[in-house]
Amino acid sequence: MIIVTGGAGFIGSNLVHQLNAIGKSNILVVDNLAPAPNLTGAKFLNLQGARYADYMDKLDFMEALLEGDFDNEEITAIFHQGACSNTLEDDGRYMMHNNFDYSKALLHFAVDQEIPLVYASTAATYGLSEAFKEVPANEKPLNVYGFSKLVFDNYLRRQMDDIASTVVGLRYFNVYGPRERHKGRMASVIQHFTKQLKETGVIRMFEGSGGYADGEQRRDFVFVDDLCRINLFFAGLLDNSPQESVQAIVNAGTGQARTFKAVAEALMEVHGEGRIEYIPFPGDLKNRYQHFTEAAVEGLREAGYVGPFTSLEDGIRKTFEVEPAA
């Protein structure tokens, strides 16, 4: 059995589909399908066409895990993608319980059972830093989401030398791709720009901010299929996966920042011509917005992953081949 938490979400559902593509269907999908004000669509639709053996609610799964119901199961790998990823959520108690306590319990189970665990961390751990190497000096989260992920990364760091099995934290940068429409405001700019372009013929982006000119703010945009492949690699499910266990916290990004203007241009190549309009920077994002991200990928390469990354232009084209724009 393979366990995917957050398996109906954006990255989790793409991971389930990619597991299917390599012949894996004995999958337990764990998620929370309760209504949420920050979501604008039904997550379960992301699993249409996917093959999996079972589904559990995230609370039922954790209860069963703590009661020992999985102790004698043959589990090949755990992909922990489940979390509250709303960067505007200010309820720290909820965030820490959901992102930190849950992850701790899963870590201890995986380590005790010697099951490979690959989990989602985030580039939000870096905050406004413009240096993105995975060292404490660069880690300055701006929101409680980034803080909750960093606290878990640090919890793992303190135990790393005593862990024999694979445990890898992947600090996701700006992920985009199919199956993210349900995320509402938290969806990537690829989705937001597409909606604007299709509805109005105009793509609106921020005026100059953070020392960058109009539309020149830069992010490390990474295609979701690439992230899934990295997950599969470290979980030992690919032909070129490491033969020895790996313990690491590494960036999962392309290492090449691109401008928001480049995103708009790539979208207009796919959806048709439009124009760009610059709007004032919103006040509620002041001191909470990363104007620049670019993954340092040396740690990822040293951990053994040397695969290429999909270009922004190719990733955008592939996104709308899988899931045409509404």
Residues recognised as catalytic: 145, 183
Amino acid letter, 125: T
Smallest Cα–Cα separation from 78: which of 103, 57, 100, 59?
A: 103
Residues 6+ apart with CB under 8 A from 124: 87, 141, 142, 143, 145, 146, 149, 290
Give the residues across from 278 on adjacent strands. 205
Smallest Cα–Cα separation from 46: which of 82, 79, 21, 10?
A: 10
The CA distance from 223 to 172, in Å, is: 10
Give me 304's structure tokens: 């053994």
Residue with structure tokens 């979501």? 39
Give the residues across from 223 on adjacent strands. 176
Residue with structure tokens 């999958």? 27
Question: Exposed, middle or buried: residue 185 (CB in 10 Å: 0-12, 13-18, 19+)?
Answer: exposed
Q: Which helix (H) or strand (E) holds 28?
A: strand 27-31
Q: What are the angstrom distances between the C-alpha of 302 and each of 248, 249, 299?
A: 10, 11, 5
Hey, is 229 helix, strand or coil?
helix
Give me 167's structure tokens: 């445990």
